[in-house]
Amino acid sequence: MAKGNLSQRMWGGRFEGETDTFVAKFGASVDVDQRMAMEDIQGSIAHASMLKTCGILTGAESTEIINGLKDIREDIRAGRFVWRTELEDVHMNIEHALIQRIGLVGGKLHTARSRNDQVATDLRLWLRSATRHIMGELVALRRVLVDLAEKHLQVIMPGYTHLQVAQPVRFSHHLMAYCAMLERDSERFGQTLGRLNRSPLGAGALAGTGFPIDPGQTARQLGFDEVAANSMDAVSDRDFALEFLSCCSIVMVHLSRLCEELILWSGQEFGFVTLPDSHTTGSSIMPQKKNADMCELIRGKTGRVCGALTGLLITMKGLPLAYNKDMQEDKEGVFDAADTVRDSLKIMRTQLPGITVHAGRMRAAASQAFSNATDLADYLANRGMPFRDAHEVVGHLVMMCLREGKVLEELSLIRLQEASPLIGADVYTVLRLDAVVDARDSLGGTSELQVQAAIERARRSLSDHSD
């Protein structure tokens, strides 16, 4: 009978003294990594079948191990499994339970394997399904945005630079900008998935194994595209987790901008939209309040997701090859970021269909702020005036309007012609908001044709996803 505490029984042969209890607690990761239990068992089942094919385990041993693992899986699913901190991590908890259940033969599962290739495999498997889930949420949110854009195609709002009114845009065009960002986010996750989907199993602790294993078989059984080519790289890099966190951070940064706009737009000063009651909260003291809590939270949670990326980058920085215990710190941030991104996307896709759009307020904001000034300058440039001069002429007209509390189209033709004789009566048509947005018919512009084309393009790209 091996001496020492429980976890020492898994590796304690060369130890005389016992691990300090607080040290064991500090070193344990099972509270966090038990989330990979299903992946751990999936990986172990594939490993045990491969050991049989390669003649390292007998058929009977492999079957006994696999059945034992399946029973443990049932216990975990049913919430019957007792996780023990003394057993350090998910891997040793499951292996220990296996040995308890089927006896010493359970100890053969770990032949030709190390916890180092095991944990790298588990995390890749976990991230593969988390990535697919997030990709599904991204598609669902993109659909919601496209639907909304289609519904509000005729709504015109101010477009901003420096948060100052710049030029009028279709509300749809603004929404489709987010759709484009999220489409790239989907692409990014897809590319990450390709690099993620390689099997580290067979790398052992760091240098491979002397047993005649077939890593191709485990890779195939686990749905990996290929086997990692270098054993040291396979167990020591976490770039796939960094890529995942980077994709997550970019999604959150995108969402935080949309959230910030919804917060602004739903405030009294803008009054462009009303957010649904289902996604807003009141104040315990101010009865009139309706706060955009969900948007604020997503904006806030962007910090912790970007923090998870920064945290893991710094954990990995300067680590010598191959495995180091530092790397056990990789999971908490990854799980948290995955949950946060998935839930944030879901909140946005359920919130957006419930917004009320105040088209009149948007239009008024666009028409009161000289958003058509560029169009008057373009008009003059089209009639031969160098654009710089046209800019100057219109600038003076804007100043005149500001003094008189008017907008450009309220100036009489005579006064406009005093500024430049190139101006004709047709200028009033050019300055209408609808004409202004439709005039921008360049690719990716805000004209009805362009926005409709963008909506159709987005729909085509979404039709590839069945979800």
CA–CA separation, 64 and 109 (whole Å) = 10
- Percent helix, strand and coil across the chain, each to the nearest 5: 65, 5, 30
Return all residues near 306 (Cβ < 8 A) that are at least 6 apart: 249, 252, 253
44 binding ligand ARG? (CB under 6 A):
no
Q: Does 29 bind ligand ARG (CB under 6 A)?
A: yes
DSSP type of residue 28: -
**Contact call for residue 124 and ligand ARG (CB under 6 A):** no
Q: Cβ of residue 29: shortest distance to ligand ARG, in angstroms? A: 5
CA distance 344 to 339: 8
323 near ligand ARG, rule: CB under 6 A:
yes
Told to check if 454 binds ligand ARG by CB under 6 A, we report no
CB of 8 to ligand ARG, least distance (A): 13
Active site annotation includes 173: no
- Give min distance, CB of 333 to ligand ARG, in A: 13
Q: Is the dihedral of CA 206, 210, 211, 213 positive or negative?
A: positive
Which residue, 119 or 177, has its beta carbon nearer to ligand ARG?
119
CB-count burial class (<10 Å; 0-12, 13-18, 19+) for 367: buried
Residue from the set 40, 61, 89, 375 that interacts with ligand ARG by CB under 6 A: 89
Residues from 168 through 197 that contact ligand ARG (CB under 6 A) = none
∠ CA 174-449-454, rounded to 5°: 50
Query: Minimum CB separation from ligand ARG for residue 27, in Å?
Result: 9
- Please, which of residues 194-233 interact with ligand ARG by CB under 6 A? none
Size of the site for ligand ARG (CB under 6 A): 10
* 240 in contact with ligand ARG (CB under 6 A): no
Contact 279, 354 (CB under 8 A): yes
Residue placing its CB nearer to ligand ARG in the complex, 116 or 446: 116
Write down the least CB distance from residue 199 to ligand ARG, Å.
17
Which of 47, 62, 110, 162 is catalytic? The answer is 162
Catalytic residue among 96, 279, 283, 442: 283
Q: Candidates 94-102, 293-301, 321-329, 360-368 — which segment interacts with ligand ARG by CB under 6 A?
A: 321-329
* Contact characters 251-290, ligand ARG, x per CB under 6 A: ----------------------------------------
DSSP 285: S
For residue 304, CA distances in Å to 120, 296, 339, 462 come to 24, 13, 11, 30
Helix and strand element counts for the chain (H, E): 20, 6
The one among 182, 196, 327, 397 contacting ligand ARG by CB under 6 A: 327
Nearer to ligand ARG, 110 or 440 (CB): 110
Binding test (CB under 6 A) with ligand ARG, winner from 44, 49, 93, 116: 116
- Residue 92 has, within 13 A of its CA and on its CB side, a CA count of 18
Tell me whether residue 145 or residue 334 sits nearer to ligand ARG (CB atom).
334
- Contact with ligand ARG (CB under 6 A): which of 115, 174, 238, 299? 115
Residue 356 has φ and ψ, to the nearest 5°, of: -100, 130
Interface with ligand ARG, residue 328, by CB under 6 A? yes
Active site residue 358: no
Distance (Å, whole) CA 259 – CA 36: 32
How many Å apart are CA 247 and CA 308, to the nearest integer?
A: 12
Q: What is the 3-state secondary structure (H, E, C) of 82-143?
A: CCCHHHCCHHHHHHHHHHHHHCHHHHHCCCCCCHHHHHHHHHHHHHHHHHHHHHHHHHHHHH
The answer to whether residue 119 forms part of the interface with ligand ARG (CB under 6 A) is yes
CB of residue 155 vs ligand ARG: minimum separation in angstroms?
51
Show which residues are catalytic.
162, 283
Instruction: List residues near ligand ARG by CB under 6 A.
Output: 29, 33, 89, 115-116, 119, 323, 325, 327-328
